[in-house]
Structure 1
């Protein structure tokens, strides 16, 4: 144990030194000492006390001092000083094979990557290949290792949960089994803590289908999954019971009791007899209620009695277009033509192209000349068949809240999305002032991923969301619900706050490849949790109505006639 502990400390010293200063004599000396200690036979303490360790080749005076402090149970001063200068997340990134301190130094300095979550995001946005020494193979390998790390954890991103649950449900249903997702996934949560489904049908068919999808001993591909088996008469009740918050369940049980019924863990009963509920609607009808959507079975959402109207929540089919998408002009993996073809295949009426702005050098941000050239390309492409194209840009919000181009350039663009990509970690006042200034900028049409969070990777910025949304309401701009499963930013409660203020929400794929337009479905889940209807969502408007909205904004700001 002494050998391993001392070697681990020396390895951390070598890593921190090289990340901070590059490959130096000092970093190599720490690394060499770690190798020597790992391979050294004998009692390390005895060798230290006898002076024998000082004579071992590769153990210099600095290494000897560090080893002595480790053996005495003290944290070496050298390590404490170096670790104070190195983000903790870089040590976690060092677990990924094929990187090492030199490449991690490049990731940190070149892309600002400090956590595994930020590294995953950079891979998915095709940014590693922009660095010297990183190719597509390295990027793919890094991403695969990160996904393996996630599989070892219980909490999943929605995209990962979807990839496991939806094909399984489809297979079960194709074979005549009633099947539905339960829990966090069905409730539209951005993070899914364990998977669960309910099934009713032939047990042999269920077993065979579960086996074909790798479900074994309550796990699927390393993730826990609870398969609840029931019969047709209980299916609806079990589906509701497994897809509700404790507070909503308490309301349902109180409602049942008021009507002489009992909602137990295995179904709805009347005087001891089972009340058949073959679907969720049947349970709510028995309680004389309008069905509460799964995403809204949360604290603070009231029950609605039969005969009263409940607003229809937004659905994927309501979206008419997508405004925030990237191409190979910046850090996307799809050309303009490929992105447009994917949007047309999805049946979208319009597609916004919003590559990164000039300050985003880490993402090949567009200089003014390159942006003008792209606008001209979009103008020419509009003459070809396909969904309508809108010129746009994802402009960095600079530290003072200003946008990344001169007004004349911004005025030539159809849709300006303003987002923060750098200078995270400002205090609450500075962050709020920055975002309020961007929201009040007359050229800002949409505030992109407002909190800056990366799920499982980076916390949200400390922002007074109410103040920013008040500024958006005053200026008339929209806010984005970024549907990337790594962001899902806005939070559902922020969606509700935007709705209260009349601020339109743009559900954005933030697609960096043609297939990523499908990410819109993750945004729909969060929008529904926030109670958004089609009227609340900017890109549920048809193209003409969207253009009218954009034109009215510019006229309101005195920027258009």
Structure 2
């Protein structure tokens, strides 16, 4: 569907014209863009059916704009707009998004200081240049500094661990507001879409899709833009609205009718490449696929659209789970009915990496065990830090044995099985932080690197491979060592690591901490090719951390893992056998 493309084209042209201080055209272009964005039908379809006359029937589109749209639909560009782009700074569009900067101010800043983009503007603000400019002053500079900060907040990547709870919260609040006496709309179908639904580790902004009849859509939009945490309403229409929350996150809401809900959900969830592949399949079968449905090319009758399942079925594919829609072979597999049966949350029987206040954890052993039992787990492993991790209050051998004694006592009070474990530091020479006579007494040994991250690849690889060769190491924890947005993964040859792990029967951890998500989906796919087994663990320090299992599960699903690939889906007796086998 070309609506979004053409709307963005007109918005960009309006920004450039405003920069050039053309008085009336920017307003006309923006009005036309908004009408097209909220149009309930594909504009290309209107043009094919009725030509330019059909375009001018759309409110806000006159002869001149209709000519531009026709030119774009015919050639893929508008010659006049191409020339316009050469007459304004390349950063015009982003600068215009900053609150308090209109075209006149932007031109004044460009003429005075050569400010062409947000980076230039930040530099000028930090150097206190703006306050020296006529009609600006210190207050204006401070306001622009805040506006730039808001802009960067709303345009930065958002971690999955922040985005997912926030989306859940917004959806819950919107459903409640729509049920109120004032709105009276039951949003039975509403969900986040885009890269968030695919559970990517970071996302750009949050996209939400809801189903409602046409006469209900505006009520839903009224409820959305009036949510308590809204800082700014960027756009409000009958089918799409955009807001920015006070904490900076941008959220788009689209409302579609029941007959198009499944098609829209599929369209706004899949990656660009996944959707292109689907559209090509549709064309080959004599269909047209858009966010409004799957249509017969000849009769223009809708073939499917109410559900995602029927879209995939009509295209000759089994249903593809959202996490797989990245164009990594899932469509070919779906055509052959060869997709994996992905692991589900109900498959997990336990959490085998967590901490207590014996080391760096914040909760008592009893509290962590009680919460895990309340979650319905069959077993857990307590894995506090080993002795060399002094910064994490790592345990000396005597303290470790005191913990074993307490575990034995608590095991009599709780139904859940409690495994004695430790997160043991992999030292720089590749040895483990406890001697073998201690390690062999542990039910689970989780090996991890917490230091020397800047080591050369060869040295780090040798360090980890050497540790993997220790018969008592069971699991390699957070194998790449990264912290999202804070620390890059250390340099290591994962082919060598995975090969050594496979030869020694070791388990690879998928760490569910939102700041880690390690292994990530790409490394999971690579590790699976070596025939490795995995565990999904929370690495919890508090009882609230135990809920982060959903994030690791998402990465496992993105990595095409099935229940059998993950050892903490096994019953307790089988899990014990797995680790017993590793040690022998």
After TM superposition, the score normalised by the length of structure 2 is 0.67
2:354 alignment partner, one of 293, 301, 325 = 325
Deviation string, structure 1 residues 301-345 (Cα, Å, up to 9, x no partner): 232456835321011111100110000111111111111111111
- Out of 229, 249, 257, the position equivalent to 2:255 is 229
Between the aligned partners of 2:201 and 2:573, the Cα distance in structure 1 is 32
TM-fit CA distance, 1:501: 1.5
Secondary structure at the aligned position of 1:352 is classed as strand
- Partner of residue 268 from structure 1, selected from 281, 284, 294: 294
2:469 is aligned, of 418, 440, 450, to: 440
Alignment partners' CA distance in 2, 1:345 and 1:150? 41
User: Relative contact order (alpha carbons < 8 A, sep ≥ 6): 1 or 2 greater?
Assistant: 1
Q: Which residue of 2 is the match for residue 239 of structure 1?
A: 265
Find the residue that maps to 1:355 and give its secondary structure.
Answer: strand
Q: Aligned to 2:161, which of 159, 162, 165?
A: 159
Quick one: distance in 1 between partners of 2:503 and 2:256?
A: 53
Residue 279 of structure 1 aligns with which residue? 307
**2:367 is the alignment partner of 1:349:** no
Cα drift, residue 274 of structure 1: 3.1
- Say if 1:508 and 1:520, in contact at 8 Å, map to a contact too: yes
Structure 1 residue 499: deviation in Å?
1.6
**1:176-255 alignment, distance < 5 Å:** 176-177=186-187, 178-201=189-212, 202-203=216-217, 204-209=219-224, 211-212=226-227, 214-215=229-230, 216-217=232-233, 218-220=243-245, 221-255=247-281
Asked whether the equivalents of residues 154 and 244 of structure 2 are also in contact (C-alpha less than 8 Å), the reply is: no
Q: Is the 8 A contact 2:260 2:293 kept in 1?
A: yes
Q: Distance in 1 between matches of 2:348 and 2:549?
A: 9
For 1:291 and 1:377, how far apart are their aligned partners in 2? 49
**What's the offset of the Cα at 1:257?**
0.8
User: Which of residues 329, 341, 350 in structure 2 aligns to 1:301?
Assistant: 329
CA distance in 2, matches of 1:381, 1:344: 12
Whole-Å separation in 2 of the counterparts to 1:153 and 1:402: 44
Q: Please give the secondary structure, in 2, of the residue aligned with 1:434.
A: helix
Distance 1:211 1:359 in 2: 53
CA distance in structure 1 between the partners assigned to 2:463 and 2:223 by the alignment: 56
1:425 to 425, 444, 454: 454
1:489 to 510, 518, 525: 518
Q: What SS does the aligned partner of 1:393 have?
A: strand
Q: Sort the Cα spacing of 1:449 and 1:307 in 2 relative to 1 into closer, same or farther, 3 A.
A: closer
Deviation at residue 533 of structure 1 after TM alignment: 0.5
**Distance change in 2, residues 1:264/1:205 (3 Å):** closer
1:481-531 deviation per Cα after TM superposition (whole angstroms, max 9, x unaligned): 100000000011111122222211111100000111111100011001000
- Give, in whole Å, the separation in 1 of the partners of 2:265 and 2:520: 25
Following the alignment from structure 1 to structure 2, what is the Cα–Cα distance between the partners of residues 310 and 476? 26
The reply on whether 1:387 has 2:428 as its aligned counterpart is no
- TM-score normalized by structure 1? 0.70
Give the Cα separation in 2 of the matches to 1:247 and 1:211. 35
Contact 2:266 2:291 in 1 (8 A): no
User: Would the aligned equivalents of 2:174 and 2:223 in 1 still touch at CA under 8 Å?
Assistant: no
Which segment drifts farther, 209-218 or 427-436? 209-218
C-alpha distance in 1 between matches for 2:220 and 2:170: 13
Q: Distance in 2 between matches of 1:538 and 1:472?
A: 15
Distance 1:515 1:386, change over 3 A: farther
Q: Is the 8 A contact 1:198 1:227 kept in 2?
A: yes
CA RMSD of aligned residues (A): 2.1
Question: SS where residue 385 of structure 2 aligns?
Answer: coil
Contact kept in structure 1, 2:568 and 2:575, CA below 8 Å: yes
Distance 1:150 1:516, change over 3 A: farther
Q: 1:544 aligns with which of 566, 570, 573?
A: 573
SS in 2 for 1:379: helix
3-state SS of the aligned residue for 1:212? Answer: coil
- Aligned to 1:290, what secondary structure does the other structure show? coil
How far apart are the structure 2 equivalents of 1:181 and 1:372?
Answer: 47
Distance 1:205 1:247, change over 3 A: closer
CA–CA distance in structure 1, aligned partners of residues 221 and 229 of structure 2: 12
Distance 1:239 1:411, change over 3 A: same
Q: Deviations over 1:24-79 (max 9, x none)?
A: xxxxxxxxxxxxxxxxxxxxxxxxxxxxxxxxxxxxxxxxxxxxxxxxxxxxxxxx
